Structure 1
Amino acid sequence: MTAGREPAVAVFGATGCVGRAVTAALVRARRPVVGVARHGPSHPGGDRFLALDAAAVDPGELSGLLRAAGVDTVVNATGGWVTGEAENKRVHLHLVENLLAALARTPGRTRLVQIGSVHEYGPLPAGTAASETYGPRPETAYARSKLAGADAVLRATREGLVDGVVLRAVNLCGPEAADVGFLGAVVRQLRDATPERPAELTVAQAHRDYLDVRDLAEAVLAATAAPVTGQVINVGRGEAVPVAHLVDLLVAAAGRPPGAVRLRAAPVDSRGGDWTRVDVGRAIRSLGWRPTVELPESIKDMWDASREDHSVEQS
């Protein structure tokens, strides 16, 4: 690290939904940021950008790049819904293992904030608020690979290779999420909906814990400096909201005329089951964090961002 330079935070997956929000939160906090992703961003953020595939780059080379950039903290915001067991392992496990191998070559213990997923718990019984002690039983390739990546971070922390913490995040909404996930799909259908060509929305009778991505970013910011290590910390609102209610909020935000939207109830057929809700007590106690963006505001901002043709890039 160059003498006199303030240590930087490297955000892996900087061009994705979560990475952009995290970068913005760090910049607001006046933290130097090094963005890392496979492709350069169309909306630059932070102080420096490294275009590389973190799953394939040589760990020694990656370690040298991070040292040269003065990085002492890393946020792993990579990943997303991909197809197949092999690709999920590459994106959510092999990338993490490669990153850990690089950080093991870096002097000192780098702070590593791994952004995990509520899906690591697997399907939850209705009425459950999963705490961090709940035994994970993931059933999908995505969830299994995300859990394996989280376990790798915790194992490396126990071995003294990194100073790691895992934030297990719930489903996301908000302006940076305008084109991803189920709600992003609803946004895309609503953009072109008219009475002559109505949006046909199939809404499952499910309840999910949804969080504004900006609130997640604030939790990540807190975790970069909080004196907690080797732990899993749930990050959500701690509420199970009917998915149909969120769709209603989006339709209202879109201001579509009568007849432009047709809703149809259907059985749950998704990767997340019909219920997600987490206990956020540990986040409140250990990070000093609470969600602040209410869902109606988040959903409206999500719609407004989509109207600005906000593009989402792959991390």
Structure 2
Amino acid sequence: MNALNAPPKVAVLGATGCVGREVCAALARTGHEVLAVARNHRPHADGHTFVPLDVAAVEPAELAALFTSARVGVVVNATGGWVLTQEAMEYAHVRLVDRVLAATARMARRPRIVQVGTIHEYGFVPEGVPIDERIVPNPTTPYAVTKHAGSEAVLAATRAGDAEAVVLRAVNVCGPHTTEASFLGAVMARLSEATEEEGIELTVADARRDYVDVRDLAEAVVKAAHAPVVGRVVNIGRGEAVNMRELVSLLVAASGFPAHAVRERSAAVESKGGGWTRADITLADQLLDWRPRIGLAQAVRDMWATWEAAPGRRAGPPI
């Protein structure tokens, strides 16, 4: 492939997180050169050009200079997190986006922006209702409110002609390198420390939620980096509302922990996304030519495998 036909260089913000690292890997597989940007270096970023940077703290002119000198054609915002204070959420989800938009607006050749948002931007949806892009967002939690503010800033800049962007609203993710801050990550941590003799009690919400493998989400990001779609919101998920007990059972089976030693206790839903999520992914198919490929059983097995293989982790649950 010559330089004229080479795919654009992509800056991935939040490159060392669960989503960002898979986005970097998916881009590399499709021939993209990656500029990995994160506050702290991680070994898995070694295959890419890495820049240690707090994007929310840097001046827009400095960020614009970085993107220009690296010849960045696409910026993917895969930053953010769940376990944050209100102030930290504003910093990561709103201030950072404002800095990116101010930076790219200064550039002679503005890069395309792919903003990874969340399905929780729509707020709580009645059980049984598929969540499509026509639903008017009504975020109610600090996480959802700040993520939505970032997405809306990107869309507003695009409407004003100051950016070229698309927003992906993703459901909960599972699969490799899922963070311990998530529900499934917390369950993995409990399983890795439990013994068969003592057993384990898990509190599982009476809920049905849509989960997508993080590698499928990464493929959607790659598609969005190239698709002739501007100023649109596209939902990304499996399009299935899975009972949380079923998901936990898959994880227990993947861990090898004896099912008879697991005690489940029901609980009211305490979540940033309510008790029901099922994304309507019709638009993702139509606009991005994207659909999920990885089944939940495989995603959960791979999630446990990467957890088990992490440095300093035990070889498996002490059964």
Give the shorter-chain TM-score range: over 0.9
Aligned to 1:246: 247
Structure 2 unmatched runs, 5+: 313-319
Which sits farther off after the overlay, 85-94 or 137-146? 85-94
Aligned to 1:161: 162
Aligned to 1:131: 132
- Is 1:146 equivalent to 2:147 in the alignment? yes
C-alpha displacement of 1:195: 2.1
- 1:269-292 deviation line (CA, Å, top 9, x unaligned): 222111011110000000000000
Say if 1:218 and 1:6 are closer, same or farther in 2 by CA, change over 3 A: closer
**Matching residue's letter, 1:90:** Y
| Identity %, equivalent residues | 52
C-alpha displacement of 1:178: 5.2
**Matching residue's letter, 2:78:** A
1:126-275 equivalence runs, <5 A? 126-177=127-178, 179-257=180-258, 259-275=260-276
Secondary structure class of the residue paired with 1:98: helix
C-alpha displacement of 1:85: 2.5
C-alpha displacement of 1:42: 2.2
**Matching residue's letter, 2:54:** D
- Is 1:9 equivalent to 2:10 in the alignment? yes
Tell me if structure 2 keeps the 8 A contact 1:215–1:291: yes
Secondary structure class of the residue paired with 2:121: helix
**Alpha-carbon distance in structure 1 between the residues aligned to 2:254 and 2:308:** 11
**Alpha-carbon distance in structure 2 between the residues aligned to 1:6 and 1:211:** 26
**Alpha-carbon distance in structure 1 between the residues aligned to 2:217 and 2:6:** 28
**Alpha-carbon distance in structure 1 between the residues aligned to 2:84 and 2:270:** 16
- 1:114-138 deviation line (CA, Å, top 9, x unaligned): 0000110111100011111101111
C-alpha displacement of 1:70: 1.1
Structure 1 unmatched runs, 5+: none
Aligned to 1:279: 280
What TM-score, normalized to structure 1? 0.94
Aligned to 1:292: 293
Instruction: Number of aligned residue pairs: give it.
Output: 310
What TM-score, normalized to structure 2? 0.93
C-alpha displacement of 1:3: 9.4
Tell me if structure 1 keeps the 8 A contact 2:21–2:44: no
Higher relative contact order (CA 8 A, sep 6+): 1
**Alpha-carbon distance in structure 1 between the residues aligned to 2:149 and 2:253:** 40
Tell me if structure 1 keeps the 8 A contact 2:83–2:181: no
Secondary structure class of the residue paired with 1:177: coil
Tell me if structure 1 keeps the 8 A contact 2:63–2:103: yes
- 1:86-143 deviation line (CA, Å, top 9, x unaligned): 2211110110001100001111231000000011011110001111110111111110
Tell me if structure 2 keeps the 8 A contact 1:178–1:306: no
C-alpha displacement of 1:310: 6.0
Secondary structure class of the residue paired with 2:114: strand
Which sits farther off after the overlay, 206-215 or 257-266? 257-266
How well do the aligned residues superpose, as a CA RMSD in angstroms? 1.7
Which sits farther off after the overlay, 264-273 or 93-102? 264-273
**Matching residue's letter, 1:41:** R
Which sits farther off after the overlay, 96-105 or 75-84? 75-84
Aligned to 2:309: 308
- 1:178-208 deviation line (CA, Å, top 9, x unaligned): 5341011111111122123322200111000
Tell me if structure 1 keeps the 8 A contact 2:170–2:217: yes
